[in-house]
Amino acid sequence: MRHTRIFAALFTAALMAGCASQTVKKASDQDAAAAAKKNAADAVPESDINAQEASLRGGEFQAIEGVEPIYFEYDSSSLKDEALASLKKNAAYLKENKGFDVRVAGYCDERGTVEYNLALGQKRARSVREYYIRLGVSAKRIATISYGKEAPVCSESSEDCWSKNRRAETQIRATTAQNAQPAANQAP
């Protein structure tokens, strides 16, 4: 009799565990489906993201009031929620002002090698560029460059200072002739 109770208790526990895992699996499948649907809505054709960048040659790029820099975590090129909000505002400005080329410059703090920080700065600039493209800014208008750790805004060796140097800045200049495209209805 005692063995029957133990067996019944074990069987019930196993049955409940199996049901719980099915519920968790269904919930995780639903989460994955929702994430895939959201990503599909944000999807931009790979050809747009990889479109040739604007030329960096020509006039100087300048910071513009109201276009905010984006800050990154240590050793990361991922865009945080607050960065996404700033990028949406920046993109709205860029879409309203189509007569400008855009340069996104990536920067790093002083830690790490020159080579590593140049690569990380480029990843940061590309993250911002890709997000602008997803928001509707023409890929052909946006160029990226990395300054790595070579252009700090702060030179103290502290986390507060380093966090100011881990950034991407968006700058603009009047569209250069080599990047301008004639309208389809206009004669050359």
pLDDT digits (tens, 9 = 90+) for 75-105: 999 999 999 999 999 999 999 999 999 999 9
Residue 175: DSSP 8-state: P
pTM of the model: 0.67
pLDDT of residue 54: 64
Query: Strand, coil or helix: what is 164?
Result: helix
Dmax (CA) for the chain in angstroms is: 97
No. of helices (H) and no. of strands (E), the chain: 5, 4
The CATH number corresponding to 46-174 among 3.40.50.10490, 3.40.50.360, 3.30.1330.60, 3.40.50.300 equals 3.30.1330.60
